[in-house]
Amino acid sequence: MEQQLGQAQGRLTKLYAALESGKVDLEDLAPRIKEVRAQQKELEDKRNELLDGKNEDAPRTLDSDKIREYVASLKTFLGSSSFIEQKSFLKSFIKRIELNEPQVVIDYTMPLPIKGLTATEEVLYIDGVGSSTRIRT
């Protein structure tokens, strides 16, 4: 966000320099200056929203319906995928598992729900036509 704000400020500086040099008339640059200022204002607003959200001390909560939806989605995916797919998926959001007998601590991020997930389908059917003893090239 800061980088984008810097780029917007750089564009404004260039436009002002072109205007001051007399190479371009104000009538030609005014719409572009207004556009860049609007972009800059929008970026500043977004940055301020992010900073305000970052400073919130209260943890975000999920309602029980949303958690049930996540659990159902995970159950569907894990029940219909191969071991390798399951392992890869779990590794994508589980950061660490710590075993301290008799306690287990799992450090993870909440995975997003999997909408419209279907079992993996074959893209191209390959038929074993030919002899089992010879290779056809």
How does pLDDT run across 114-129, given as a tens digit for each residue?
A: 555 444 443 444 445 5
Local confidence band at 102 (pLDDT 50, 70, 90 cut-offs) = confident
Angstrom distance (rounded) from CA 77 to CA 111: 12
Run of H or E residues at 108: strand 103-108
Local confidence band at 37 (pLDDT 50, 70, 90 cut-offs) = very high
Predicted model pTM: 0.38
Q: Cβ neighbours of residue 8 under 8 Å, at least 6 residues apart?
A: 36, 39, 40, 43
Of 62-71, 76-85, 96-105, the range with the lowest mean pLDDT is 62-71
What does the domain layout of the chain look like in residue ranges?
2-54, 83-137
Mean pLDDT of 56-70: 73
Residue 12 above 50 pLDDT? Answer: yes
Q: Which pLDDT does position 131 carry in this prediction?
A: 54
Q: Which pLDDT does position 18 carry in this prediction?
A: 86
